[in-house]
Amino acid sequence: MKNLLKTQDLKAYYRLVDGTDIRAVDGVTLDLRPNEVLGIAGESGCGKSTLASVMSLTHNPPLRVIDGDVTANGSNLLTMPTEQVRQKIKGRYISIVPQGAMNALNPTQRVRNFAIDMLREHFPEMKKDEAIDLAAARIDELGLPRRVLNNYPHELSGGMKQRTTIVLSTLLDPKILIADEPTSALDVSSQKSVISLLLALLKDEIITSIAFITHELPLLRQIATRIAIMYAGKLVELGTMEEIIFEPLHPYTEALMSTMLVPERHVREQRIQSIAGVPPDLKAPPKGCRFHPRCPKRLPVCSTEEPPAKEVGDRTVWCWLMQ
């Protein structure tokens, strides 16, 4: 199937000063297709943000790509000259709203300066007024109040700050938006407004596809087309939203989804923590299936051999139970 972006056997490790590696992304093959919202979910520390940073080519040392490819339209983005990536890919083909981006806005600058910087990076000749006009037109189109451009970040509510960050990050009409936990730390109504904005960006054809990273599982039901579940640096299951939420096959997906119908966030988080144990230390992940120390269904083979990918209908599951 056609894809906009694909990682193939991608391995990205943080190399520490003592020479050890944190194997945060350890062999991930994942495609992002046109007109979809690909949800990426899993407990904290499983490598979601690391994957997002490599997919958006915003990774920096100590994170290094050890192996694998990130391709778009048949080109390997990891070997593309830096200048070409800056001019053609970042912000134009792929834009990322990193985790915590709304709190990273410069507190001493009005929001409009973010738009000016973003546009001038790509169009150095652009005048400030022109940049502000372009940002204002987009803000109008998406129904945000124009005043936000004149505000300082602290003058905006969390939800408004996040929506503004998203709008300004997509001013150059990238095909792909990678949104890393854009709803965390927001109340339910602000979460809804962020989801509505993301859907409006798709509907208005400003962007073509979204990779939406979250540990707020109920939101996936509202927005995702497909879902990838990540555990300890690897994918464990990839399928349609309905398959993953209502008929999970992998024991980890099953455990995650069993927490989902609980409305209160803190209870959900407690339940996730109650999947006995915690994700492993990625300096020395367990042999075999990385979930085996916590898995209630493990088989003898699980602690020695890594489960291969198994296609089950249209989905992919990495579990010995499926072999």
- According to CB under 6 A, which one of 55, 211, 223, 319 is a site residue for ligand SF4? 319
**Shortest CA distance to 51 belongs to which of 6, 16, 85?**
6
Contact (Cβ atoms closer than 8 angstroms) between residue 286 and residue 280: yes
- According to CB under 6 A, which one of 39, 47, 98, 248 is a site residue for ligand ADP? 47
Is residue 316 involved in binding Mg ion (CB under 5 A)?
Answer: no
CA distance linking residue 191 with residue 163, whole number of Å: 10
Structure tokens at 131: 């940049």
* C-alpha 186 chain-centroid distance: 17
3-state secondary structure of 93: coil
Q: What is the nearest approach in angstroms of Mg ion to the Cβ of residue 316?
A: 22
Residue 26 — φ and ψ, nearest 5°? -135, 65
- According to CB under 6 A, which one of 48, 112, 161, 290 is a site residue for ligand ADP? 48
User: Of 99 and 165, which CB lies nearer to Mg ion in the complex structure?
Assistant: 99
- The mark string for 217-236 relative to ligand SF4 (x by CB under 6 A, - otherwise) is --------------------
Q: What is the nearest approach in angstroms of Mg ion to the Cβ of residue 50?
A: 8
CA distance linking residue 105 with residue 163, whole number of Å: 13
- According to CB under 5 A, which one of 7, 56, 95, 99 is a site residue for Mg ion? 99
Is residue 310 involved in binding ligand SF4 (CB under 6 A)?
Answer: no
To the nearest 10°, the Cα dihedral for 193, 196, 200, 206? 70
3-state secondary structure of 9: strand
Is beta strand 310-312 parallel, antiparallel or unpaired with respect to 37-41? unpaired
Is residue 231 involved in binding ligand ADP (CB under 6 A)?
Answer: no
Q: Which secondary structure element, helix H or strand E, spans residue 39, and what is its range? A: strand 37-41
Q: What is the nearest approach in angstroms of ligand SF4 to the Cβ of residue 301?
A: 7
Contact (Cβ atoms closer than 8 angstroms) between residue 237 and residue 315: yes
| Interface segment toward ligand ADP; rule CB under 6 A; list 47-55, 84-92, 113-121, 154-162 | 47-55
Q: What is the nearest approach in angstroms of ligand ADP to the Cβ of residue 22?
A: 5
Residues 270-309 that bind ligand ADP (CB under 6 A): 282
Residues 30-49 that bind Mg ion (CB under 5 A): 48-49
Q: What is the CA angle 260-262-264, rounded to 5?
A: 120
Contact (Cβ atoms closer than 8 angstroms) between residue 19 and residue 224: no
Is residue 162 involved in binding Mg ion (CB under 5 A)?
Answer: no
Contacts with ligand SF4, residue ranges (CB under 6 A)? 250-251, 289, 291-292, 295, 297-299, 302, 307, 319-321
Residues that bind Mg ion (CB under 5 A): 48-49, 99
Task: Give the footprint of ligand ADP on this chain (CB under 6 A).
Answer: 14, 22, 24, 42, 44-50, 62, 282
